[in-house]
Amino acid sequence: MRVVLVEDDNHVAGALAAVLTRQGYDTVRAEDGAAALRAVDAGTDMVLLDLGLPDMDGIDLCRRIRRVSDVPVIMVTARSQVNARVKGLEVGADDYLVKPYDVRELLARMGAVDRRGRSRVSAGGELVRVGDVVIDLAARRVEAGSRTVVLTKKEFDVVALLARHPGVVLPRERILREVWQTSWRGLGRSLEVHVASIRRKLGPDDVIETVRGVGYRLASR
């Protein structure tokens, strides 16, 4: 899970990022509101948002995030007044936690918000079928025949990106940009390794086709 941590205090951000990393989260730090707006994209799974930012108020930042994304947002702030809590939830936060807090409570709240979000999007259904392979984009689940295929986050992100553009060849540079959040071609080998791993896990049918010299596409059968 990719978490954007919006926190201007280096000490707080460093300690929290270390905890999140140990728990398996892929953490991206944003020191202010402008950096947060650049960091939040389609690959973001959750935002931890401090309200006291140097360039804009966190309430305004949450409002701006909501204009472009329904990513889960947990406000983590020293503002303990009821009015502040109500305002935060009204502008679109999914939860609100007051500092100082026990990190175990934060992790529990993150898990709860994530579960609610997954249930909500799964209800809408968003299935892509390729032969015996079924890709549930909303639930982030892949099935091949009667078995569930366990993919890593990056592997699923690659599959999901291709599945959202069925039959379309996506250049390697675009996949790297949207999944790895980089335009560095040096990661091309990593993309190849991930595609090879996906193919092994999905089975004998070549669900991902290579278009030599260009990129990859999801098979259309």
User: Is there a contact between 66 and 91 (Cβ–Cβ < 8 Å)?
Assistant: yes
Q: pLDDT tens, 38-91?
A: 999 877 889 999 999 999 999 999 999 888 777 889 999 999 998 898 888 888
What's the pLDDT at 168? 74
Closest CA to 76 of 112, 109, 44: 109
Task: Answer whether residue 196 is part of any domain.
Answer: yes
pLDDT digits (tens, 9 = 90+) for 119-154: 444 444 578 888 888 898 888 889 888 788 999 989
Query: Does residue 145 share a domain with residue 53?
Result: no
Distance (Å, rounded) from C-alpha 206 to C-alpha 208? 5
Q: Are residues 136 and 185 in the same domain?
A: yes
Q: The tokens of 38 are what?
A: 């650049």
- Among the candidates 61, 86, 115, a domain finishes at 115
Name the residue range of residue 61's domain. 2-115
Can you give the pLDDT at residue 197? Answer: 94
Nearest Cα residue to 73 out of 81, 61, 86, 57: 61
At 1-45, the pLDDT tens digits run: 889 999 999 999 999 999 998 888 889 999 999 999 999 987 788
Number of Cβ atoms within 10 Å of the Cβ of 23:
14
Question: Are residues 195 and 134 part of one domain?
Answer: yes
In a domain, 122, yes or no: no
Using one digit for the tens of pLDDT, what is the confidence trace for 152-197? 989 999 999 888 876 678 888 888 888 888 766 677 788 999 999 9
Same domain? For 97 and 131 the reply is no
Question: If DSSP codes are grouped into helix, strand and coil, which group holds residue 130?
Answer: strand
Q: For residue 56, what is the domain's CATH number?
A: 3.40.50.2300
